[in-house]
Structure 1
Amino acid sequence: MSRSEPDAEWVKRFLSVPRFRPYVRDCGGNEALALALYRWNIEVSSALHPALNFLEVLLRNAFHNELTSHYVRSAWWTVARLAGDGALLIAGARRRLNRTCRHEPTSDDVVAAMPLGFWVSLLNRDNEEVTWRPALHRAFRPGYRGPRREIHAHLEHLRMFRNRVMHHEPVHMRHLEADHQRIYELAEYLAPGAAKMLRPVDRLAEVLARRPVPYLGRRRPGLTQTEM
């Protein structure tokens, strides 16, 4: 490494010792290797963005379409009695849109403004009678015909994973191949043919091949028929 390149001391000074510590620990105290792992974690997180982005857009559009059909209105949230903070989240999104949009916010504007956590919450137990049974079970067919709790568990897992990626947390200890597989399988349930659309912009495999240290974590299974 040349003198002009950042080194481990630079990382500890400007990115913090606590942030660098897990990488050093997982590299057996080797700071040079830890620096390589830190850089790779940034690269692999970036490589995960296309698949995570694609799944989130597919999910919200599929849910919106099914709920619009069931409630016979695009602003279905005005009649669906959502449990938890769902109604408050929508109201907050509408207030923000009213401040920033140059036009009256449309239903599409509201849908795009809602976070992934909102869409996943529509599959929790408290919303089963309002969303899952009348409408959202259809979003995953014909590929998936299992119970709500299974698909909710997998989406909740990916929501937490997405947050780690987007908030720049370490993901190098995860079985990223399995996380990746889970994204593809859920995307295919929502939109058959999604994998063919996504693969040309997905470079995760080539980044995984450059992993500077062996996989260190515990296997995370993908969503398979045997689990359903």
Structure 2
Amino acid sequence: MPFGFTEEELDHFSMVLSASRLSTYLKETDNNQKLAMDLYLWQMKLCAAFSIPLHIFEISFRNTVAEAVANVHGNKWPWKEGFIQSIPRQKKYYCAQNDLRRKAKEHETTGSVVAGLRFAFWEKMLTNRHVKIWEEQFPIVFTGWNDRRPILDSVKYCREEAERIRKFRNRIAHHEPIFSRNLNTDYKRLIEMLNLINPAVGDWIRRVSTVEDILGERPDK
């Protein structure tokens, strides 16, 4: 899809997108309205391209962590009080234990609970609180793991990278500007995490993704 707007289209888009939203793009393009809109369009295309690896990562990450939990606590883990009590209860921003209890009441199958839990829940599973799970299960469920570092160091790395990906995903979901980020690093992080989960999936994403192509199409100043 080519870039470009007619003068009339520029006026209409400027009205519907709001001056405050466009000001970020105008600042980046030295108040060139046409270039600002080209940048806005480019970012929309890029966000759409990122949706594929983000989609696959989010689902595969939660399923991988859920598999590890089931291997240790059984397939009915969402209703096992012993496991539930092992989940942190901090109330600031997000309480993983409360989230699990709510979803376990709302759903009758483990799969539905897994799909309903917030992404932050799966992040919080990758902590030293669950060391017994990860010392056994990390090399099993993260099939691309071949690191010489101690397993718990890899668990920490995985949690931190997942958090960064979640925050990046949230910026896209909330239609916030991402053009000033190091987007090559964001994409590389996604691929590395997918390779850690399953190298074949990481390879497939690299083959079908258009992220790198669109990154090279950014409108110049």
TM-score, with normalisation over the residues of structure 2? 0.81
Match of 2:214 in 1: 207
| Maintained 8 Å contact 2:70/2:77 | yes
* Structure 2 counterparts to residues 50-199 of structure 1, below 5 A: 50-71=52-73, 73-77=74-78, 78=80, 79-80=82-83, 81-84=86-89, 85-97=95-107, 105-124=108-127, 127-129=129-131, 131-133=133-135, 135-136=137-138, 138-140=140-142, 142-144=145-147, 145-146=149-150, 147=153, 148-199=155-206
- Distance in 2 (CA, whole Å) between partners of 1:32 and 1:86 is 46
Contact 1:164 1:171 in 2 (8 A): yes
Q: Which residue pairs with 1:226 in the alignment?
A: none
**Structure 2 regions of 5+ residues with no counterpart?**
90-94
- Residues 91 and 36 (structure 1), Cα distance of their counterparts in 2 relative to 1, 3 Å cut: same
Paired with 1:159 and 1:117, the residues of 2 have a C-alpha distance of 8
CA contact (8 A) 1:122 1:132 kept: no
**Residue correspondences, number:** 203
| 1:220 aligned partner | none
The match for 2:35 is 33
Aligned partner of 1:2: which letter?
A: T
Sequence identity percentage: 23
The amino acid of 2:19's aligned partner reads: V
Q: CA contact under 8 A between 1:122 and 1:131: conserved in structure 2?
A: no
Deviations 1:84-107 (A, max 9, x none): 31121123334554xxxxxxx310
Structure 2 vs 1, CA of residues 27 and 2 (structure 1 numbering), >3 Å: closer, same or farther?
closer
Q: Distance in 1 between matches of 2:12 and 2:132?
A: 53
Shift of 1:201: 3.0
Question: Which structure has more helix as a fraction of its residues?
Answer: 2
| Gap runs ≥5 in structure 1 | 98-104, 215-228
Amino acid at match of 2:29: C
Contact 1:68 1:76 in 2 (8 A): yes
With the length of structure 1 as denominator, give the TM-score of the two structures. 0.79
What's the offset of the Cα at 1:160? Answer: 0.2
Matched, 1:2 2:12: no
Question: Equivalent residue for 1:218?
Answer: none
Q: Distance in 1 between matches of 2:219 and 2:189?
A: 24
